Amino acid sequence: MGHIIARYGEISLKGHNRSEFEKVLVQNMRRAVEPWPGVRVSRSQGRIVIDTGDVPTSPVLTALSRVFGLVSLSPVRVAGLSADAIGDEAVALVREAADNGEMPNRTFKVEVRRANKQFPLKSPELTRQLGGRILKSVPGVRVDVHNPDLTVNVEVRDIEAFVYGRTIPGLGGLPVGASGRVGLLLSGGIDSPVAGWMAMKRGAEVEAIHFHSYPFTSERALQKVESLAQVLADWGGRLRLHVVHFTEVQTEIRKHCPEPLTVTIMRRMMMRIATQIARQRGLLALVTGESLGQVASQTLESMHVIEAVTQLPILRPLIAEDKVDIIRRARQIGTYDISILPYEDCCTVFVPKNPRTRPRLEEAERAEEHLDVENLTARAVERTEMKTFHARRGVEPAAAGTP
């Protein structure tokens, strides 16, 4: 019955990258429409065409509007390749829009794209004919080429024509999985879920790594992180969460390291453990929610000392973002309300009175002299638990608008 066309961008991608992009995109779209077995997704002439069968178009559109890599989507009417058949659909489209109150000034224009050069009428001719038929068939409408209420778009293709009015924006970006897999250091805060979302937007498949310090932090703090992981899975299709039991590491740091450096050393331990997990899981980079200068541990000196323990690229999608902008994005993604729940995070449990904001590398290395770094790291990795989250069906995008 209904059809949708989906457009994708990144025209700069070439050759192998492009076909990989398209393959992954179609796969992800198929996964998004899995709740409706009758819905078919196929590729044709530079577009992706979705045949919704008997399923109403609107929930399918909503589900697809959450797929990264799509630039825009339009519900379309499919017509046979004759001016008459196209005209029937164009008239029906205008009638429907007028009935739904989408044409307050009752103005329209017709725009034809003729991809099929065999079609007997040239674009201007077809445009004129269709305009004439609409004027005759729908009472009270008139043409306004500059500022119409409704643009009747017609795409004449090889085996059929598409007629549509509405285009809704997609998320853009790249399809999740097209850029490889990364590890996201996911806290219960506002920033790291947003950072993970942005990595997904550029095509990374994300596995989350969370450091948990039970009983210093509660069971509920962990549930909060699981809720965040679930929301990210709703966007990305699937998400694995690695929960690292971090209590022993934190206790040992407190016992053996100078207090002003405990935060720095805790972060270095997180990086070491995350790096081992990344090696086991084939993750190509680590993502954090850091933003330059936001807190004491996010100075350039601090970041240098922390990332010195890993060879992996550290991606910081929020490095240049202001907190207000991160919060706005978190709201749109749907993580904000979860992130502001009060349960304490492992980093807030042992906060030194005077943390060093500009540590030096040798200083941090010296501070670790009495810490059994290797064994602590290995034990934490060994005890790490993994949980998998799948996208929930029928979840509405968190808020109106594109994040």
Q: Which residues bind Mg ion (CB under 5 A)?
A: 187, 189
In the complex, which residues of this chain contact ligand ATP (CB under 6 A)? 185-187, 189-192, 209-211, 288-290, 294-295, 297, 345-347
Residue nearest to ligand ATP (CB): 189
Task: Tell me whether residue 8 or residue 211 sits nearer to ligand ATP (CB atom).
Answer: 211
Residue 70, C-beta contacts closer than 8 angstroms, at least 6 positions apart? 6, 7, 8, 25, 29, 64, 170, 171, 172
**Measuring CA to CA, how many Å separate 380 from each of 37, 182, 188, 261, 308?**
43, 20, 20, 21, 20
Q: Which does 179 bind (CB under 5 to 8 A by kind): Mg ion, ligand ATP, none?
A: none
* 60 touches, from ligand ATP, Mg ion, none (C-beta below 5 to 8 Å by class): none
210 binds, among ligand ATP, Mg ion, none (CB under 5 to 8 A by kind): ligand ATP
CA–CA separation, 308 and 125 (whole Å): 67
CB nearer to Mg ion: pick between 87 and 189: 189
**Rg of the chain on CA atoms, in Å:** 27
Which residue is nearest to Mg ion, using beta carbons?
Answer: 189
- The listed partner (Mg ion, ligand ATP, none) that binds 295, CB under 5 to 8 Å by sort, is ligand ATP
Nearer to Mg ion, 180 or 293 (CB): 293
Q: Which amino acid is at 97?
A: A
Smallest distance, Å, CB 218 to ligand ATP? 13
Distances (CA, A) of 199 to 177, 183, 315, 334: 11, 10, 8, 16
Which is nearer to Mg ion, 59 or 352 (by Cβ)? 352
Q: Which does 70 bind (CB under 5 to 8 A by kind): ligand ATP, Mg ion, none?
A: none
* Closer CB to ligand ATP, 8 or 197, in the complex: 197
Residue closer to ligand ATP, measured from CB, 153 or 297: 297
Closer to ligand ATP by Cβ: residue 49 or 271: 271
State the minimum distance, in angstroms, from the CB of residue 173 to ligand ATP: 20
Smallest gap from residue 353 Cβ to ligand ATP (A): 17
Q: Min. distance of Cβ 228 from ligand ATP in angstroms? A: 10
Residue 149 binding: pick among ligand ATP, Mg ion, none (C-beta 5-8 Å cut-off by kind): none
